[in-house]
Structure 1
Amino acid sequence: MIFQLNGCSAYSPSVNILGAYFPDWLFCISGGCLASALIYLSLTKLRKGSWLSPYIVIYPLLITFLSMGFWILFFY
């Protein structure tokens, strides 16, 4: 029984902030949403918003890819 649970004790994917532990994916998703909002605002300001045309598909994918990139960059 102890052999099966031994792999879980090595690393907990959480960040300690003022005594509370938050999962690292929460910060990555927040950063992905913020970065995609900044990309949206900059493209609309430059009037190039049509470059990312099907918004319902592109922006969730952009959030996903940016979140994964932040996770690889900061937590891997």
Structure 2
Amino acid sequence: MWERLLEHVFSLFEAQPDSDPNMIINSLKDWLDSGDDDAITGLSGAESDYYEGLEPPYSCKNGPMDNLGEVA
């Protein structure tokens, strides 16, 4: 269902985003899950070790989003 929704949203753009809906879905699942463990969701999920390697570094939320800005 989420994959179809993202594909529909992508189709609304004049220039289609170069993103895989499954990559976005897996990353969101790992952002929202309750733990920071080795159980990475799919091939494109991520936990805090990934986010802490970014510039600037930050921890994975591991919980519900407070606002949509967390997705950007």
TM-score (norm 1): 0.25
Greater share of helix: 1
TM-score (norm 2): 0.26
Which structure carries more relative contact order (alpha carbon 8 Å, separation 6+)? 1
Greater share of strand: 1
